[in-house]
Amino acid sequence: MLDRFDFLLRMRLHGAARGIGITFGAVLAFSLACFFLWGNGRVARILYFPAADGRGQVAEMRYLSRHPGLEASVQELVNSVLLGPTSPDAERLFARGAVVSAVMVNGATVYLDLTPQVLMDDPETHRRGQEAFDILTRSLRRNFPRFTDVVYLIDGQVPHFPEKKKI
């Protein structure tokens, strides 16, 4: 196999062709070194959404931007969940237009301040209240296992949901 490439060893480049070849080789080596040292700037994340048939949840893998700070990574993940699923087998968790206002991490607790659109009724969403927040919490804990507690705020206020009566 290598004998097919022996012509490369016999080639003698002079002048401008030699300079172009050296420059091309240096740029190629530099770009490969950057790729292997820093990667492509994306990280695989698992997001959970309610199943469209109403039974269980659907996991979806997305490649999200890598951020140097933990808060920015959490905000990217939550905004991706708020955008909704790409799979037709899953449905949205919250109404369109909901975004993250602020993220704060304190030890093993993450505080998420969301816009009021997360509480709006939407025909595309069938899970509401605490059930929707539980699915979002599952996505957060799956991707950031260091978080033991997730505190949700809506415009700076802790939301209160009526408890379901167990029969």
Nearest-angstrom CA–CA distance, 98 and 108? 25
pLDDT score recorded for residue 46: 93
42-154 CATH, one of 3.10.450, 3.40.50, 3.30.300, 3.30.70: 3.30.300
pLDDT band at 164 (very low <50, low <70, confident <90, very high): low
Model pTM?
Answer: 0.72
Per residue in 5-60, pLDDT (tens digit) is 666 666 776 777 777 877 888 888 888 887 777 766 788 999 999 888 878 888 99
23 against 160, higher pLDDT:
23
165 has a pLDDT exceeding 70? no
pLDDT score recorded for residue 147: 92
pLDDT score recorded for residue 42: 83
Give me the residue spans of the domains in the chain.
Answer: 2-38, 42-154
pLDDT band at 151 (very low <50, low <70, confident <90, very high): very high
Q: Are strands 42-50 and 149-154 parallel, antiparallel or unpaired?
A: unpaired
Q: CA nearest 90: which of 142, 40, 127, 41? A: 127
Buried b (16+ CB within 10 A) or exposed e, 13-24: eeeeeeeeeeee
Nearest-angstrom CA–CA distance, 145 and 137? 11
Per residue in 68-117, pLDDT (tens digit) is 889 999 999 999 998 889 888 888 888 888 889 999 999 999 999 998 88
1 has a pLDDT exceeding 60? no
